[in-house]
Structure 1
Amino acid sequence: MATELFTRNIISCIWDFDKTLIPGYMQAPLFRRYGVDEAVFWHEVNTLAERYRQRGYNVSGESVYLNHLLTYVRAGVMEGLDNRTLRECGREIVFYPGLPGFFDELRAFVRSRPEYAKHEITLEHYVVSTGIAEMVRGSAIAPVVDGIWGCEFIENPLPPGFLQQPEFAIEDKMEISQVGSIIDNTIKTRALFEINKGTNKNPAIDVNAQIKPEDRRIPFQNMIYIADGPSDVPCFSVVKSNGGRTYGVYHPDRPDEFAQNDRLRQSGRIDHYGPADYTPGSATTRWLLLHVQAMCDRIVADREAAVAQRVARPPRHLTAKPEGRKAPRPPEQQSFL
């Protein structure tokens, strides 16, 4: 397939959130605010799928926690929980060392090279999480990312017959009561294709539409997916199998997480792994910088090769040898007589 003259020049780093950008789960500040024992909540969540199965219900083990949060709201344990409160709790999220500054440092690296600037190469960051989108939006990482995928809640859903009712009474009590959207570990791959095709930048492009590879906004080979473990295998597989790079991170003090990442590397799920340390000079920052640079260099090479192949050399003037004039003999054959 011929190289495109205008090679797509956007690189994207796509980040998981929990245990990738932060040491634990983002909901911790929410539980502290309402005095909920975090360990008890997650233990309940981990048993829900089986408990409901015994009662004849099939539920998703990955997203059942959303309904359990709503159960806490309805029971009065988290009375008054709304999206504003979720954003406020997001401000209390503590990130791994080096964040959020490292996101801008990666962008600055791409901007700092004249050869990259010449080809207008840019880098974008995205968060794709099974957590709560409003909490990510309220966190310190939000100003330095280009898009956020996460689970959403609805406050005060519209009642039956709302199409015939022109006005609604203003509700003094805003409280989440329904799940608006779910992102689980499989649906996360949809977000990858939205980034790939540009659906997130142009809503007119349907993620299920057939789009030629050369017409997609960010090719998979320009993507790096960073996450913490086996739950991200679907995304690892999509990115890696399509020519992108995959990187696993682990808590520096958790040998079990280190071993988990090593197994992912041995099974070919990830290209490499390192500690969740985003400070200058760490193994993780060095690897990410190295591969962002490699992607930039490839884009430059592809664009310049395309120009060389497709742009003809301009015509040049030819210098004719004067007629009747002999070429001069070599110095040793010339005579001065």
Structure 2
Amino acid sequence: MHETIAVVFDFDDTLAPDTTTGFLRHSGLVDASRFWKEEVDPLITREDWDPVPAYLYRMIEAGRSGCIPPITRERLADWGRRAPLHPGVETLFARLRAAVRETHPRVQLEFYVISSGIGDVLRATRIAHEFTQIWASEFHYGSDGQAVFVRRVISFTDKTRYLFHVQKGLIGPDHVGRPFEVNRKLSPEQIRVPFRQMIFVGDGYTDIPCFSLLRQHGGIPIAVYDRHREDKWGSAFQFVRDGRVANLHAANYAEDSDLSNFLVMAVRSLATDIALAARTYQG
């Protein structure tokens, strides 16, 4: 029996305001929007760069040129500790665990992050301890401690790779440095968390492959939007029009908010399904 539920989150603009833009402003780049429009967007539209390596490369360049202080792991972590979160995020995990425990005490509830953001920021946030694992984009640092290259990029279909890590149980230190292990074929009995027992919460175009994969296999894809970013509402609503998500909510996780209530209902429903399957299995 598979008695684990996985709730998987994107991070930036899903659980928190964009931490990368926040880091740039914290580093002294007051008009961070110009960084995206004048530095990153031309690489994407004129030179056919992928969006994630484009922004990571431009950040390294900004640190080298003196536009911002050099990027180091310590500076990124310092910002991560300060970074704001969306309302209710810090208490969400305990509420969802309680909901599952009340429904079916044997079911395990696990939380994960799969993000195009910067891992050294996300692992320093106040909620990092809530996650079984955080997968995010990474810098490589030189002998002087400064970022010199991109070590990992997570974007678009790269994100689905890590849903397969969760599905197959390829989590924790024993599976670090083994990138090809995710291609290993497992029997249905060896699957640790079926896709139908996953919830994915995201906000942007890089999350579409995860939305689609879970939708296809009976999981629960949920789109969120920042109610303060009206410029992004149209793209968020498009996820609903295209049938990519089960629901669309403002990124407010406070107790009794629509999003919080929907997540509670979702984990309770999955826990109930697991309980029924267990009784059937036992005869």
The TM-score with structure 2 as length reference comes to 0.92
Runs (5+) with no aligned partner, structure 2? none
Partner of 1:42: 36
Larger Rg: 1
Q: Distance in 2 between matches of 1:174 and 1:248?
A: 37
Partner of 1:91: 81
Deviation at 1:256, TM superposition (A): 5.2
Equivalences for residues 244-323 of structure 1 within 5 A: 244-255=219-230, 257-308=232-283
Deviation at 1:33, TM superposition (A): 3.4
The one-letter code matched in structure 1 to 2:79 is C
Deviations 1:167-212 (Å, cap 9, x if unpaired)? Answer: xxxx5x3211111111112201111111111112452791001112
Give the paired residue count: 277
> Residue 102 in 1 paired to residue 77 in 2?
no
Q: Distance in 2 between matches of 1:243 and 1:228?
A: 20
Decide which of 106, 125, 137 is 1:139's aligned counterpart. Answer: 125
> Residue 194 in 1 paired to residue 199 in 2?
no
Cα pair 1:100 1:144 within 8 Å, conserved? no
The one-letter code matched in structure 2 to 1:136 is L
The one-letter code matched in structure 2 to 1:41 is F
Cα pair 2:60 2:71 within 8 Å, conserved? no
Deviation at 1:259, TM superposition (A): 4.1
Deviation at 1:14, TM superposition (A): 0.5
Partner of 1:130: 116
Equivalences for residues 1-337 of structure 1 within 5 A: 7-23=1-17, 25-36=18-29, 37-43=31-37, 44-51=39-46, 53=47, 58-113=48-103, 116-117=104-105, 120-156=106-142, 171=143, 173-201=144-172, 202-203=174-175, 206-255=181-230, 257-308=232-283
Deviation at 1:254, TM superposition (A): 4.5
Q: State the 4+ residue runs in structure 1 displaced beyond 3 angstroms.
A: 253-262
Runs (5+) with no aligned partner, structure 1? 1-6, 157-170, 309-337
The one-letter code matched in structure 1 to 2:236 is N
The one-letter code matched in structure 2 to 1:101 is T
Cα pair 1:21 1:96 within 8 Å, conserved? yes
Cα pair 1:151 1:182 within 8 Å, conserved? yes
Cα pair 2:156 2:205 within 8 Å, conserved? no
Deviation at 1:100, TM superposition (A): 1.6
Q: CA 1:59–1:251 in 2, change beyond 3 Å: closer, same or farther? A: closer
Q: CA 1:266–1:146 in 2, change beyond 3 Å: closer, same or farther? A: same
Q: Distance in 1 between matches of 2:56 and 2:229?
A: 27
- Look up the SS of the partner of 1:218 in the other structure: coil
Q: Distance in 2 between matches of 1:283 and 1:96?
A: 14
Q: Distance in 1 between matches of 2:51 and 2:75?
A: 25
The one-letter code matched in structure 2 to 1:185 is F
The one-letter code matched in structure 2 to 1:234 is P
Q: CA 1:34–1:262 in 2, change beyond 3 Å: closer, same or farther? A: closer
Deviations 1:10-56 (Å, cap 9, x if unpaired)? Answer: 10111011111123x112342233312311111121112334x2xxx
Deviation at 1:275, TM superposition (A): 1.2
